Amino acid sequence: MSLPRRLHRFLGWCLILPFCIWAFTGLVFFIKPGYQAAFSYLTVKTYPISTTIQIHPQPDWQEIKLLQSVFGVHLLVKQSDGWQQLNPQDFTVRLQPADDELQLLLKDAISVDPQRYGEQLLKTDQGYVTDTGVQIQLNWASLSLSQQGKDTELINNLYKAHYLQWTGYKSLDQAVGVLGLLLLLLTTVLGIRLLIRRR
């Protein structure tokens, strides 16, 4: 067996695992099973505003949001350094309430999809976790929520595998990616050469 043929076969065996991973994850990304639930957008549940509030915009306010939750009315203003929640009565910074009150807000939010979020919440160092294993984080300043379940984590890991982010170190992953592309290119060139020589 000639050297190019042996090298081509060796490279083919080396690339079997990456090819299988690329094919499988590519199929998942094409079909997108479970994407809708895994990346669903969780928001604070709002209600019709029940009180009249007079707002006097300040020069440094770029945007204003006024909404009502189970807590009552929320005034959100965007400044150059980001969002901030203010008391609608005196426009002072509205401090984050106690954990019991926050759980009331979050339970009201997750009530829209009990199949995914369940009904109970547990406080953790990272935020909150539901009895179905979904992690929820609250940004009080912008009154925004984010959610991540085991399905979200699985899809994110498949994404990393597809793009050769295997080690967790950016520079090393980039080196592995470049090496993989070079091996693929070399395998293709050798295959074309063997095909031409056979003719």
If asked whether residues 98 and 185 sit together in one domain, one would say no
Q: Residue 75: what pLDDT?
A: 95
Largest Cα separation within the chain, whole Å, is 86
pLDDT (tens digit per residue) in 153-191: 999 999 888 888 878 888 888 888 888 788 888 888 877
Q: Considering the chain, what percentage of its residues have pLDDT values greater than 70?
A: 96
Structure token digits, residue 5: 């043929």
- What predicted TM-score, i.e. pTM, was given to this entire model? 0.75
Q: Which amino acid is at 123?
A: K
Checking if the pLDDT of 1 tops 60, the result is no
The DSSP call for residue 97 is -
If asked whether residues 50 and 137 sit together in one domain, one would say yes
Q: Where does the chain show beta strands of DSSP type E?
A: 63-69, 72-79, 82-86, 121-123, 128-130, 135-139, 144-148
User: Does residue 137 sit within a domain?
Assistant: yes
User: Does residue 152 sit within a domain?
Assistant: no
Q: CA 88 to CA 73: how far, in whole Å?
A: 7
Distance spanning both ends of the chain, measured CA to CA: 17
If asked whether residues 45 and 108 sit together in one domain, one would say yes
Q: Which of 9-23, 26-40, 159-173 has the lowest mean pLDDT?
A: 9-23
If asked whether residues 135 and 184 sit together in one domain, one would say no
If asked whether residues 116 and 48 sit together in one domain, one would say yes
If asked whether residues 54 and 115 sit together in one domain, one would say yes
User: Does residue 158 sit within a domain?
Assistant: no
If asked whether residues 52 and 124 sit together in one domain, one would say yes
Q: Residue 198: what pLDDT?
A: 67
If asked whether residues 49 and 85 sit together in one domain, one would say yes
What is the total count of domains within the chain?
Answer: 2
Q: Domain residues for 175?
A: 3-31+164-198
If asked whether residues 59 and 131 sit together in one domain, one would say yes
Checking if the pLDDT of 58 tops 60, the result is yes
If asked whether residues 141 and 119 sit together in one domain, one would say yes
If asked whether residues 18 and 46 sit together in one domain, one would say no
User: Does residue 157 sit within a domain?
Assistant: no
pLDDT (tens digit per residue) in 60-115: 999 999 999 999 999 999 999 999 999 988 899 999 999 989 999 999 999 999 99
Checking if the pLDDT of 6 tops 80, the result is no
User: Does residue 110 sit within a domain?
Assistant: yes
Q: CA 26 to CA 134: how far, in whole Å?
A: 26
User: Does residue 159 sit within a domain?
Assistant: no
User: Does residue 98 sit within a domain?
Assistant: yes
Residue 89: Cβ within 10 Å count: 10
pLDDT (tens digit per residue) in 108-152: 999 999 999 998 999 988 889 999 999 999 999 999 999 999 999
User: Does residue 61 sit within a domain?
Assistant: yes
If asked whether residues 179 and 141 sit together in one domain, one would say no
